[in-house]
Structure 1
Amino acid sequence: MRGLTGAGPDRARGSSQAVIAAGAALAAIALFVAACGTGGTGTRDEGPAHASAVAGAVASASPSPSPTTGYRRVDAVSLLKKDPAVSATVKRQLKPCSGDNYPVEVTYGFLTGGSVNDVLINVSDCGDWLGIGTYVYRNVGGTYENVFKAEDSPVVAEIDGTDLTVTKQVYDTNDTLSNPSRETVITYWWKAGRFTEHYRHDTYYSKTGGDTSAPDN
């Protein structure tokens, strides 16, 4: 390798060890940042959820609470099953797809201005992995309450800073599953105790090739 030619066994071995050590240090830093970061898209817990993770086992990579906010994990599957606002159709999907892996993805963030993290849960179908439901739970006096739901599949949501962003695929008559007519992205803000639509953006898929975007509202 250029720059190491003629270095000799001992020197080459020392250089290799230095490179390995540096690489390990960089990898550790990267893992720490990934685990502890609470950036623009929230802190993702698991997805699809593993049974032990859903049960609330706290891993060493769990983010630490900040001085003014609290981090709390939840049993996502149990929370959904006990929630009367969750439809029977979605509840039927709350079973392991394989092994003990549930079709559930959990993200934590601060959407509603509370002192404890809010919980965003996306539920998918085991067959085609399309989003069939998305829910936001807010901690109120130690109990998590459902403050948002969308079950018009396919649907998925994410946390973008303090915004809730919901993406929906829209199908017209005779559209196939792989060819929706448009995609709608809606951004919600928390105002006066509830989520309010702030703006939306529609992308129309052309049946003859090429997409067109509608102006934001």
Structure 2
Amino acid sequence: MSEVRIAAEQRTTFGKGAARKIRRADKVPAVLYGHGIDPKHLTLPGHEVLLALRTPNVLIRLHGEGVDELALPKGVQRDPIKGFVEHVDLLLVKRGEKVTVEIPVTAVGDVNSEGLFDQQLMSIAVEAEATHIPTGVEVSVEGLEVGASITAGQLDLPKGTTLIADPETVVIQVNAKPTEAPTEEEGAEGEAAEGEAAEAAAAE
């Protein structure tokens, strides 16, 4: 995974008022923590952060006066209406160390035409090197029959990646398609047929 370089400024003002002022300047308040260090309070450029967060588990190279660190986003607060980033928690990481992350699961192919595809987990917890986090894992569902399922333990994870989730957890399954309810016309025809049968039986 490539690094995204983002300029970081250390900040000394805190609280809701200071945070609002930072956001009005199109910037994002952030906190860097991990490895036993005292949390560092930072200010990051809003647009660059927004672009970086489009990549799951993006590795960010923070650089600036007094700052030169690698970090992973571990908590992102967004405006519920406009969607812009309001705050970011960043985990300090070192090259070669292992981190636990969620990676997306992508299904490829089509299940049997008689089955109904059901993906129960969109992502899976794994452990990987901080600088070699996979972008995701693909799994083929081509031709799977009704009743078939794929568990977390059956996923073909990239080299160097270890499953953290329960291997028995069902990720994908194929259900039977629901039986179609009769239309009003079909229902009326059925009721008429039942009525005629009842009248015939009474006549006998």
TM over 0.5: no
TM range, smaller chain: under 0.3
Larger RCO: 1 or 2 (CA < 8 Å, sep 6+): 2
More strand by share: 2
TM (normalized to structure 1)? 0.21
